[in-house]
Structure 1
Amino acid sequence: MTTTWTAHGTTADALGALAREGATGALSGERGIVYLEAGRVVHVESAFTPDLGALLTRSGAVPPDGWWEAVDRGGTQHRVGHRLVDGGSLAAGALEVCHLGALFDAAYFVLAHDTRAQRFRPGAVHWLGAVRSVPVDVVVRESGRRRALLDRIWPDPAIDTLPLTRVPGAGADVLPVRRGRTLTQVDGV
């Protein structure tokens, strides 16, 4: 597999060009990786968001052992999603909804502070396998919609990446117990 460096100004520009070419592979940028199949987005990863496995296991939709068994048995064939559904661990619709949520959340971070894409690995396929492909323009548009919504609420992009810190004088004692316990864990790291 040959890695090529992209000549496009932004990740969104590179994705658009790869979509027009009908490319299959992985486009890496500073904030994540976008996997394409025949010019459509099939998966996105970013360290800034929980992955599909975390979403499914933490929500209780799939037990952790069931998730890792599907990864162990289906990962090398790029069929983890199919294994979860075929094995009865998850309904196809639930997998699709969770996958699209993870895809769009990760794409937001890959594209929100869009910088130049770093490299494209032609032919690279994600171990999950295709669950639902999405046109590149839909992914770019949704990322922009989310950015505009968040900018209306809080127009500083640093809020997406800075650690949480305590506000001086604010105590957890005036909050519901569960929320208070959560806020006691805020340490600015």
Structure 2
Amino acid sequence: MSRKILFPLLALGVASLGQHAHAQTSAKASYTASDIVSHFAAQPDLGPPRALCIGTESECAKAIAPRPKPASSFDLVVNFEYNSANLTGAARTNLDEFAKAMKDPRLSTAAFVVEGHTDGKGSDEFNLSLSTRRATAVVEYLKGQGVDVARLEAKGMGKLRPIGDDPFSSANRRVETRLRTD
């Protein structure tokens, strides 16, 4: 299974764990709907962390680490061919799993931003347009699978957030989704 989870990095970008998956040729999804639901579903609040600290109140406050926040984004593993916004068979298979997850009652109130990205080839204007078409293609496909489009916002990012050191890598031709927080 090639599931990629992204965690917020400062408020401006994301860092990917492991290698980014390239376009797939098989019909097997890279993740399941249950993977997505468990990734985004609210975890029960178990209260503040408990610890024993010997020292002053201010020393102990520094010693207790805050709970990590749940990840707010998920790599859909929807890659595109060069200069294309057409969904591949592998992309549709992964999006089918995402559509199932969005229909799960635990995600019934969740809304998502669908971000399209491009590699570094071409002008800023062209890449922004292409990335917007890619995000829109994903939203339209999910709409066709019965997902309420009011819960989805397509957004083009152009070539602003490459994965890794090579802005020209084909891995940058992708769509990511994150929880909408506004």
Please give the range of the TM-score, normalised by the shorter of the 2 chains. under 0.3
Higher strand proportion (structure 1 or 2): 2
Higher helix proportion (structure 1 or 2): 1
